Chain A
Amino acid sequence: MSADTAGIDTLRLTAEEAAGLLERGEVSSAELVAAYRAAIEARDPELHAYLHVTDDEHAGDGGGVPIALKDVITTKGVPTTAGSRILEGYVPVFDSTVAARCKEAGLPLLGKTNLDEFAMGSSTENSGFGPTRNPWDTTRVPGGSSGGSAAVVAAGLAPWSLGTDTGGSVKQPASLCGVVGLRPTWGTVSRYGIVAFASSLDQVGPLAKTVRDCARLYGITAGRDACDSTTVELPAPVELPEREDLRGLRVGVPRELNEVDGIEPGVRERVQEAIRLAEELGAEVGETTLPRSVEYGLACYYLVAPAEASANLARYDGVRYGHRADLNGDGDLTALYERTRWEGFGAEPKRRIMLGTYALSAGYYDAYYGQAQKVRTVIKQEFAAAFEDFDVLLSPTSPTVAFPLGDKVENPLAMYLTDVLTIPPNMAGLPGLSIPCGLSEGLPVGLQILGPQFSENTLFAVGHALERALGFDFVPPRLAA
């Protein structure tokens, strides 16, 4: 099963290797696309990682390494649903900036990947079109909300992909699927054309089998965009990591991010081993602390993100595009809004719209949204203080390995807690890289590497050196031939 079309083993092939094959003329871009399509045909029916697979016309023939995009990333002429029934059948008339940059870089589009509706969730079970399954164990979730983008890379259905990360939606599924995922510094990658969930947190990030692939894809997508006035020019060009040691690096281990309730013992062990390995590679390791970030981060996030979401999702009103309720000529404007939104949104967006509307309401703003913004400043300061002593911070990405489908569906709070380790740095706008650092109970464990703003090159360097030393096999055993 691992040897696909034209002898291309999509399970093992990295984007860098694929680029090498193309450069040397050993395969054509069309052959690569065909190989991945064959893999999709073979394996996606059980995984349901794709919501839409493109035909030749919409894939484009840029001659490069093909890519999959999370279905919140607007693609001209290719359906973009954000995993919501309310956008079923919506075909954008423009490209998001990242989709356009991928096109300019010649990357053919394989398709659009599944996600939690409007990127709200941590398991991809909130998709309006059914869940995605974890390639390592199909009874388990792939994480979320970029579960589809992580699963396609893990299962060899795309060499690399783009996801989006608001509270951990790239890092956490990367962790649960045993792939590498980067959440970049907020403001380095354009959000133009990204279906918005929580604007001050949303960020596009790459998922791939290796740190170098992630760095490469980050380099293609990052940089100032005139269509997103919150973007900035990168302070330094993206560097593909080479070094295999960590000499001179100061590594901090924040106590709370490593000891919070709910971290599985197996996860803790793998992460501690990775930290020891960092020391062996020459890093100076020390303990640090982020008490308020971890204690208040999650609560703060669940005020800020739903508040912004409540406004961002107001545009789905049935007037201009997407689902519109059929009132059979009976009912006024309010009825049109209510019925359209009742029918179109799933439970999680409804829950967050209500939370956010409440948090912004007159008389509650100061106590909730206003207070959360102040806490956010405190979190930023706490991280800034930690980065005075350390170049990077290490912790688990997710407190657990992939959990069974249905496990947390009835308990939103338990689901929210799966992001407890990724949310604090996100609230501070900081970049974070998740790399696989071993297995627990046969399932991948992710190591979260955090740095100050614009420290992506450092994160790549650390991730690459650890990745080499760890020697993690990213092919799920059940798929290996």
Chain B
Amino acid sequence: MPLDPTRWEPVIGLEIHVQLKTKTKMFCRCENVWGEAPNTRTCPVCLAHPGTLPVPNRQAIEWAIRLGLALDCEIAPRSLFHRKNYFYPDLPKGYQISQYDSPIATRGRFSVPGPDGDREMGIVRAHLEEDAAKTIHVGGEGGRIHGAGASLVDFNRGGTPLVEIVTEPDVRSAEEARRFLGLLRQTVVELGISDAEMEKGSLRCDANVSVRETGETGYRTKTELKNMNSFKFVADGIDAELARQVELYEDGGEVVQETLHFDPRSGRISPLRSKEQAHDYRYFPEPDLVPVEPSPELVGRLRDELPELPAARIRRLEEEIGFDLALGLVTSGRDELFARVPGDDRRATANVLMNQLAGAGVDPARVNADELAKLIAARDAIPRAAFDEALAASGDEGFTAERYLAEAAITDEGEIDAVIDRILAANEGQVQAYRSGKEGLLGFFVGQVMRETQGKANPKVVNERLRERLRA
């Protein structure tokens, strides 16, 4: 439920973890791969055997710089790794190697186009760290440690490279958070440094949420929402937390600083662990590593190699097809195909790409744009079923539109009228309802006619004829 914008303003900061798809892990030579049998991608280093030492992955450092540059950050000429100390079975060394007060990238900004223009989100920092291993609690409830019969650790993920991005508290709504994430995800994918899939955990997002009264300039107490594993859950979680905080304040209560868990099934928010119990991580500079000192030449080369970023493309497309379609095409990676498809009706083309083509799960990179253009131009003249079938096949090797174009749709009004009459006669109740004002029923009649004609009727003609007949 959206909160009253005249009274309350959301203040949201995001912490995003991006798992880099380097060939090997951050500090050892184990393969960095998802979904293999547990503990098959480990070595003495990532299992923290006595005496082992970390050796930084050059690719990970370059990619972190690449990401930092895409976020318009300053790249530190000298940054440090620290040890972050705490005990847990998923952390074999008893400390995580991470960057602390001297990260590789700082003070950036990321433009997020919106329907009412751009919003610039400040980036506090982006830093490199190693991921923890994965703990699996078996025999308990809901996979949590309490009551579990045993805990198992899979070290395959342990030591894989992560970049953590921290934004300023510049995000002003759940929807904006979602848009930011979508755009960041697409940026990361296009940089070629991560799969950035939330379901796999290669993109993770925590949100720091607070509200303040409109016009207030300070920040109020924030809470941290953890482990939301889809864009939708991030948005739903933020909305639920905003509502909770507003209700608290309106009832005269106070927000307590704590870490929260959002359960997407129930929509409920519950405390994860209180900050009072939070660890003292006893950070100190990692003596086993030397400072990261990228040369100006390297940073310059990485800057030159940056591709045009998604935000810029959204702004270009927006004029042509409107904001929503532009955002959709770019953040789904379909705008490249869009640019290749000729034809004057740009919005229609964008719609087909975003709806039918996306629905059919076709890889846009494999589509023959000219053939697709022919289909889109003829979309009203061929049966709906044939059109859908054609789109589903449009990514196949050697696909041509010709065969589908030959399947002319039924446009003969007489033929269609006959079907319409049969349907209206069989559904007198709905006809009465339509005529007494329930015009939403038109879709029902269209569906019936299309079914009767096995999708071959031209939907435009069907629509026109139905309206005509129902008016009588």
Answer yes or no: A337 CB below 8 A from chain B CBs. yes
Q: Are A365 and B53 in contact (CB under 8 A)?
A: no
Give, as a whole number of angstroms, the nearest-CB distance from B382 to chain A.
Answer: 63
Interface size class of A (residues with CB under 8 A): 35 or more
Contacts of A230 in B (CB 8 A): 287-290
Beta-carbon nearest neighbor of B282 in chain A: A360
Residue of B nearest to A307 (CB): B284
Task: Give A146 Cβ to nearest chain B Cβ, in Å.
Answer: 16
Look across to chain A and name the residue whose beta carbon is closest to the beta carbon of B27.
A229
In this assembly, does B343 line the interface, its C-beta being within 8 Å of a C-beta of chain A?
no
Contacts of A357 in B (CB 8 A): 282
Chain A residues whose C-beta falls within 8 Å of the C-beta of B153 in the assembled complex:
319
Q: B393 interface residue, CB < 8 Å from A?
A: no
Residues of B within 8 A of A360 (CB): 85, 282-284
Smallest Cβ-Cβ distance to B56: which chain A residue:
A229
- Of the listed residues B44, B53, B87, B92, the one surrounded by the most CB atoms of chain A closer than 10 A to its CB is B53
Pair B92/A74 contact, Cβ less than 8 Å: no
Given A93-B44, A315-B93, A319-B89, residue A195 in contact with residue B284 (CB < 8 A)? no
Complex Cα gap A198–B284 (Å): 13
Distance between A317 CB and nearest chain B CB, rounded to angstroms: 7
Q: Whole-angstrom distance between the alpha carbons of A195 and B51 in the complex?
A: 4
Are A314 and B95 in contact, CB atoms less than 8 angstroms apart? yes
**B226 CB within 8 Å of chain A:** no
Nearest neighbor of A82 in chain B, beta-carbon distance = B50
How many residue pairs, one in A and one in B, have C-beta atoms under 8 Å apart?
103
Instruction: Tell whether A342 is near chain B: CB-to-CB under 8 Å.
Output: no
Task: Verify B49–A229 contact, CB threshold 8 A.
Answer: no
Q: Does B270 contact A (CB under 8 A)?
A: no
- How does the 8 Å CB contact mask read for B279-298 relative to A, with 1 for contact and 0 for none? 01011100111100000000
Which residue of B has the minimal Cβ distance to A362? B280
The yes or no answer to B48 lying at the interface (CB within 8 A) is: yes
**Residue B214 lies at the interface, judged by CB distance under 8 Å to chain A:** no
Question: B53's contact among A80, A191, A308, A319, by CB below 8 Å, is which?
Answer: A191
CB distance from B88 to the nearest CB of A (A): 8
What distance in Å separates the Cβ of A338 from its nearest Cβ neighbour in chain B?
10
Interface range, B side: 20 to 34
Chain B contact residues: over half helix, strand or loop, or mixed? Answer: loop
Task: Give residues of chain A (185-224) contacting chain B, Cβ–Cβ below 8 Å.
Answer: 191-196, 198-200
Query: How far is it, in angstroms, between the C-alpha of A308 and the C-alpha of B82 when the chains are bound?
Result: 12
Residue of B nearest to A90 (CB): B50
B82-101 vs A, CB cutoff 8 Å, 1 = contact: the mask equals: 01010101001111000000
A453: min CB distance to chain B, Å: 15
Name A229's contact: one of B51, B85, B290 (CB within 8 Å).
B290
Is B432 an interface residue when CB atoms closer than 8 A count as contact? no
Shortest Cβ distance from B136 into chain A, in angstroms? 14
Expressed in whole angstroms, the Cα–Cα distance for A374 and B194 within the complex equals 40
Q: Do A369 and B53 touch (CB < 8 A)?
A: no
A92 touches B49 (CB 8 A): yes
Residue-wise, chain B 39-66 has the 8 Å CB interface mask toward A (1 for contact) of 0000010011111111110000000000
Report Cα–Cα, A337/B145, bound state, in Å.
Answer: 16
Residues of B within 8 A of A228 (CB): 53, 55, 288
Given A229-B290, A360-B85, A361-B280: A80 touches B92 (CB 8 Å cut-off): no
Measured in the bound complex, the distance between the Cα atoms of B151 and A194 in whole Å is 30
When distances are taken between beta carbons in the complex, the residues of chain A under 8 Å from B95 are 311, 314
Contact of B47 with A199 in the complex, beta carbons under 8 Å = no
- Please state if A317 and B94 are interface contacts (CB–CB under 8 Å): yes
A369–B290 CA distance with the chains assembled, in angstroms: 18
Enumerate the 9 nearest inter-chain pairs by beta-carbon distance, A residue then B residue, closest first.
A314-B94, A360-B282, A199-B287, A200-B287, A193-B51, A195-B50, A315-B48, A74-B51, A362-B280
- Chain B residues within 8 Å of A, Cβ to Cβ: 44, 47-56, 83, 85, 87, 89, 92-95, 145, 151, 153, 280, 282-284, 287-290
Instruction: Provide a sorted-by-A list of 5 A–B residue pairs whose CB atoms are within 8 angstroms.
Output: A192-B52, A227-B55, A228-B53, A229-B54, A310-B85
Q: A314-B93, A360-B85, A361-B280 are in contact. List 16 more A-B contacts (CB 8 A).
A: A92-B44, A92-B51, A94-B49, A96-B51, A192-B51, A192-B52, A192-B53, A195-B50, A196-B51, A196-B288, A199-B287, A229-B289, A313-B94, A317-B89, A320-B48, A337-B87
